[in-house]
Chains A and B, each alone.
Chain A
Amino acid sequence: MALPRTWQNFLDETGDMSRFTGRFFAQGFKPRYEFAEFIHQCFIIGYKSLPLIGLTGFIMGLVLTMQLRPSLIDYGVESQLPAMVGIAIVREIGPVVTALIFAGKIGSSIGAELGSMKVTEQIDAMEVSGTNPFKYLVVTRVLAATTMLPVLVILSDGISLYGSYLGVNIKGITSFQLFFKQVFDALSFSDVWPAVIKTFFFGFAVGMVGCYKGYNSQKGTEGVGRSANSAVVVSSLMVFIIDLIVVQVTDLLGVN
């Protein structure tokens, strides 16, 4: 019995993406290393994402604090606000929201850039210029995304907590020291490390999906648009799926 067409397409795509990922591991760690291009990509992917990630992080912390406050007042535990916001941001909201913003910005830009390079034969031109385009374009971008997202998440968490501190002070008075003492008292090492480790997987997924979609873009401008769009959709979905898996694993390991 034949599978429905959509299922066949889904399985084909999954198989192609797995092969693409396998190629990354097969080629990514062999010389010639594209170190200069990797640093350049870290600058573009990491440094240039900082204003957007910082702004969204700040708003996220501020809004979360303002929205939690009335409920905590109802339960009479307003003093727990810094602890609650701290745990929520560091464990879940910071990594996931930052990864989603990252997927929107970086996933789409990698998908569109590689897609347009593919349709204008720039990837072929690279190959005839003595360059392995997979290493030069894909490996560098995936590694840059994998290493830069955790850094961005840590910075975003810090900015979110500062936003939260300002949120607390809109309707009350709490000192900077007291706020952060309460946050760090509530956090344990087992709150931080699974959250940081999963961001490596988020970054890897965003980079890999963006590169896969761009590198396999169909001809024409429509193909480039579709690559950019599906890179965002699939990488955002991957972020949630990885998050779900990490929660199950950390739960099994008893580090919750």
Chain B
Amino acid sequence: METMQETIRPPVNEKVQEPVISIRHLYKSFGANKVLEDFNLELMKGENVAVLGKSGSGKSVLIKCIIGLLKQDSGEISVLGQNVAELDHDELDRIRVKVGFLFQSNALYDSMTVRENLEFPMRRHWIKMSPDESDERVMETLKNVGLAHTGDMMPVELSGGMRKRIALARTLILNPDIMLYDEPTTGLDPITGREISKLMVEVGEKYNTSSLIISHDMNCIRATADRIVMLVDGKCYADGTYEELKKNNDPKVKQFFE
């Protein structure tokens, strides 16, 4: 028993980490359809957590509640120590500067060039910058996603994988502390999916972000996540590393690894 206590005790002088996202007893329903029921999750600083679940299991609803696009019925979502439900519009905007959201459909503005797409969040969040600094930031971010030459192209001229990279660049341009990925590899071929997964790991290290990855793509999850939370029937059904969950014999867990 003594040995066990010693192993779980944090090493001397190591600061106890605060979660960057903390979700407690989250409930969300649409009419009679209960999507999230008493869902709990903690994302620690520097950690990459994947939320795994079937289509329609409420993964996207969860991530939209975190960023304040949807309002939960009850429960608490704390992002960087602030309760999202209690924030007014301006406070929520200040939190959103620190949280990057990669949309499933990329959500690039069709009427703007790639450069304008990247400048949009900086402009709208009142990031004070000279035009030269802004250009430099755009070019640097585009280089980081491997698409430095696309600044003057329109989103419609880009391939699916390129659009995903640009969407990722747009979320990274504000140097976020947290990245929320909504199905980052859905709709991409396996090779491009692998490239995007690799890029997610690279930018995570480069920008020192914590990530919450919503997906049902096991290859992406395996490549990007330190820990997996399984969302089943609106609840956190299982929690562990890829290897731990792979060994789990529960049929609901097993089906994702077959």
- Chain A residues near B (Cβ < 8 Å): 116-117, 120-122, 124-132
Q: Which residues of A lie under 8 Å from residue B247 when comparing CB positions?
A: none
Q: Which residues of A lie under 8 Å from residue B97 when comparing CB positions?
A: 130
Number of A-B contacts (CB under 8 A): 43
- Kindly state whether residue B74 has any CB partner on chain A within 8 Å: no
Most chain B CB within a 10 A radius of its CB, from A116, A124, A125:
A125
Dominant SS among interface residues on chain A: helix
Contact of B105 among A120, A127, A132 (CB under 8 A): A120
Cβ–Cβ contact B107 & A121, under 8 A: yes
Please list 16 pairs of residues, one from A and one from B, whose beta carbons are closer than 8 Å in the complex, sorted by A's number.
Answer: A120-B105, A121-B103, A121-B104, A122-B108, A124-B69, A124-B107, A125-B101, A125-B107, A125-B109, A128-B67, A128-B96, A129-B96, A129-B124, A129-B125, A130-B121, A131-B124
Q: Which residues of A lie under 8 Å from residue B103 when comparing CB positions?
A: 121, 124-125
- Kindly state whether residue B6 has any CB partner on chain A within 8 Å: no
Also in contact, A129 and B120, with CB within 8 A (given A116-B110, A122-B109, A122-B110)? yes
Return the CB mask of B81-106 against A: 1 if under 8 Å, else 0. 00000000100010011010101111
Q: Which residues of A lie under 8 Å from residue B93 when comparing CB positions?
A: 130
In the assembly, what is the distance between CA of A76 and CA of B121, in Å? 69
Q: Which residues of B lie under 8 Å from residue A125 when comparing CB positions?
A: 101, 103, 107, 109
Q: How far is the CB of A219 from chain B (nearest CB, A)?
A: 11
Q: How far is the CB of B27 from chain A (nearest CB, A)?
A: 22
- Kindly state whether residue B45 has any CB partner on chain A within 8 Å: no
Q: Give 14 A-B pairs besides A120-B106, A128-B96 with Cβ atoms closer than 8 angstroms.
A: A120-B110, A121-B103, A121-B104, A121-B107, A124-B107, A125-B101, A125-B109, A126-B124, A127-B69, A128-B101, A129-B125, A130-B121, A130-B125, A132-B89
Q: Which residues of B lie under 8 Å from residue A132 when comparing CB positions?
A: 89
Q: How far is the CB of B23 from chain A (nearest CB, A)?
A: 18
In the assembly, what is the distance between CA of A116 and CA of B126, in Å? 27
Q: Which residues of B lie under 8 Å from residue A126 when comparing CB positions?
A: 124
Cβ–Cβ contact A130 & B105, under 8 A: no
In the assembly, what is the distance between CA of A121 and CA of B67, in Å? 14
Contact of A124 among B64, B108, B126 (CB under 8 A): B64
Contact of B96 among A116, A121, A122, A130 (CB under 8 A): A130
In the assembly, what is the distance between CA of A124 and CA of B108, in Å? 11
Q: Which residues of A lie under 8 Å from residue B125 when comparing CB positions?
A: 129-130
Q: Which residues of A lie under 8 Å from residue B105 when comparing CB positions?
A: 120-121
Also in contact, A122 and B107, with CB within 8 A (given A127-B69, A128-B69, A128-B96)? yes
In the assembly, what is the distance between CA of A122 and CA of B108, in Å? 6
In the assembly, what is the distance between CA of A122 and CA of B163, in Å? 13
In the assembly, what is the distance between CA of A116 and CA of B111, in Å? 12
Q: Which residue of the partner chain A has the closest CB to B100? A: A128
4 smallest CB-CB distances across A and B, nearest first, come from A125-B107, A121-B107, A129-B121, A130-B124
In the assembly, what is the distance between CA of A122 and CA of B69, in Å? 12
In the assembly, what is the distance between CA of A179 and CA of B106, in Å? 59
Q: Which residues of A lie under 8 Å from residue B108 when comparing CB positions?
A: 122
Q: Which residues of B lie under 8 Å from residue A128 when comparing CB positions?
A: 67, 69, 96, 99, 101
Q: Which residues of A lie under 8 Å from residue B67 when comparing CB positions?
A: 128
Q: How far is the CB of B33 from chain A (nearest CB, A)?
A: 16
In the assembly, what is the distance between CA of A124 and CA of B109, in Å? 11
Q: Which residue of the partner chain A has the closest CB to B120? A: A129
Q: Which residues of A lie under 8 Å from residue B64 when comparing CB positions?
A: 124
Q: Which residues of B lie under 8 Å from residue A120 when comparing CB positions?
A: 105-107, 110
